[in-house]
């Protein structure tokens, strides 16, 4: 990751809860439009002090397009555009594909029958030496081998078993210097073992259920700055003691759709 990464974001002009494709979504509990705009602008301002914010055009009747993490997975100017699991989000794919092509990214070939939800489910460690793939609720396990071949990197597949944490980026977040935030029970027992085998104990930051449900793992790290919706005093202290500066940015309106800080941005210069 560069010091001043570009982050792709999409204004929440058409953001709504129009369907229910994860347990956080309830069409009876709509986000307040004005408050969503304010929170999103505050996120732009906060992230914008440490990153370059790049915008894409929101499309009417594509309420989840605001979650640009799901546009695709980008590494070194190459992108795999998402193949969404649910028909409700599938029309976003050609819109994001056009954006990537116009912006000069090389769009990699991918079989249409392999679901893959981009940087929602695929995360690189911060020196991009390997990738983690969350699979089950959205992305297909077959994506692991395809990503390994496309990017010539080892890919560690992680099985997601708690429906509340349906994308890898809702429960796992690689940060600077190998530190990693995660919510252990979101993963199968086997995947918890893989995480423990790959990440040394002093680098693992296990978050509580309370923090996880406030989307603390859905964080953006830029160097030692970490942006998240909420961090309990305990989590703040843990991050602080490892030299991180926590920036809490409330995005509670977006939690109603099952997304937070990380989902609302896509790092175009890393993962
Ligand atoms: N409502 C969206 C969905 O269910 C939220 C996506 C959140 N994005 C993410 N990267 N976790 O697909």
Q: Note the pLDDT tens digit of each residue in 65-82.
A: 999 999 999 999 999 999
Indicate which atom in ligand 1 lies nearest the CA of residue 67. Answer: 8
pLDDT in tens, 197-209: 999 999 999 999 9
Q: Is residue 67 part of a domain?
A: yes
In a domain, 34, yes or no: yes
Task: Give catalytic status of residue 263 as yes or no.
Answer: yes
Domain that holds residue 192: 6-267
The answer as to whether 112 is a domain residue is: yes
Give the pLDDT score at 128. Answer: 81
Give the mean model confidence (pLDDT) for residues 140-156.
Answer: 98
Residue 3 has pLDDT above 90, yes or no: no
- What CA–CA distance (Å, rounded) separates 194 from 76? 26
Spot the catalytic one: 56, 122, 135, 167: 167
pLDDT of 1 reads 45
Residues with CB under 6 A from ligand 1: 21-22, 25, 64, 67, 69-70, 89, 120, 167, 169-170, 257-259, 263
Is position 1 within any domain? no
Confidence (pTM): 0.97
Pocket test for ligand 1, best of 167, 168, 173, 267 (most atoms within 8 A of CB): 167
Question: Alpha-carbon Rg of the chain, whole angstroms?
Answer: 17
Residue 199 lies in a domain: yes
Q: Return the closest-CA partner of residue 227 out of 203, 241, 242, 244.
A: 244
> What is the distance in A from the centroid of ligand 1 to the CA of 135?
14
Measured CA to CA in angstroms, residue 64 lies from 11, 30, 68, 148 at distances of 11, 13, 8, 28
The 3-state secondary structure of 156-187 reads EEEEECCCCCCCHHHCEEECHHHCEEECHHHE
CA 103 to chain centre: 21
Question: Is residue 232, in this structure, part of any structural domain at all?
Answer: yes
Q: Is residue 136 part of a domain?
A: yes
- Report how many domains make up the chain: 1
- What pLDDT does residue 126 have? 79
Annotated catalytic, 122? Answer: no
Given a cut of 90, is residue 127 above it in pLDDT? no
158-175: average pLDDT: 98
* Residue 10, pLDDT score: 98
**CATH code for position 204:** 3.75.10.10
Nearest to 2 by CA among 169, 206, 234, 222: 222
Q: Has residue 271 got a pLDDT over 50?
A: no
**pLDDT (0 to 100) of residue 206:** 98
Q: Does a structural domain hold residue 204?
A: yes
- Among residues 171, 173, 217, 263, the one annotated as catalytic is 263
By most ligand atoms within 8 Å of CB, the mutation choice from 30, 120, 122 for ligand 1 is: 120
Residue-averaged pLDDT of the chain: 97
Label residue 270 by pLDDT band (50, 70, 90).
Answer: confident
């Amino acid at each position: 990751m560069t010091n001043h990464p570009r982050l792709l974001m999409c204004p929440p002009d058409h953001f709504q809860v129009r369907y229910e494709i994860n347990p956080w979504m309830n069409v009876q509990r709509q986000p307040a439009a004005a408050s969503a705009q304010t929170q999103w602008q505050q996120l732009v301002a906060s992230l914008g002090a440490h990153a370059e914010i790049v915008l894409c055009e929101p499309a009417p009747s594509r309420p989840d397009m605001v979650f640009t993490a799901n546009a695709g997975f980008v590494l070194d100017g190459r992108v795999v555009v998402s193949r969404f699991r649910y028909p409700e989000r599938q029309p976003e794919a050609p819109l994001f594909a056009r954006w990537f092509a116009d912006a000069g990214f090389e769009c990699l070939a991918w079989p249409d029958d392999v679901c893959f939800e981009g940087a929602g489910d695929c995360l690189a460690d911060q020196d991009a030496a390997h990738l983690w793939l969350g699979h089950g609720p959205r992305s297909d396990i077959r994506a692991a081998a395809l990503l390994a071949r496309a990017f010539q990197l080892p890919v560690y597949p992680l099985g997601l078993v708690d429906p509340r944490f349906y994308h890898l980026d809702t429960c796992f977040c690689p940060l600077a210097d190998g530190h990693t935030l995660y919510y252990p029970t979101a993963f199968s027992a086997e995947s918890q073992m893989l995480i423990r085998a790959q990440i040394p104990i002093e680098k693992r930051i296990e978050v509580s259920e309370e923090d996880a449900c406030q989307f603390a793992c859905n964080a953006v790290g830029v160097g030692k700055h970490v942006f998240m919706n909420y961090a309990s005093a305990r989590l703040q202290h843990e991050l602080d003691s490892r030299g991180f500066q926590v920036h809490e940015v409330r995005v509670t309106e977006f939690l109603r759709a099952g997304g937070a800080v990380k989902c609302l941005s896509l790092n175009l210069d890393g993962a």
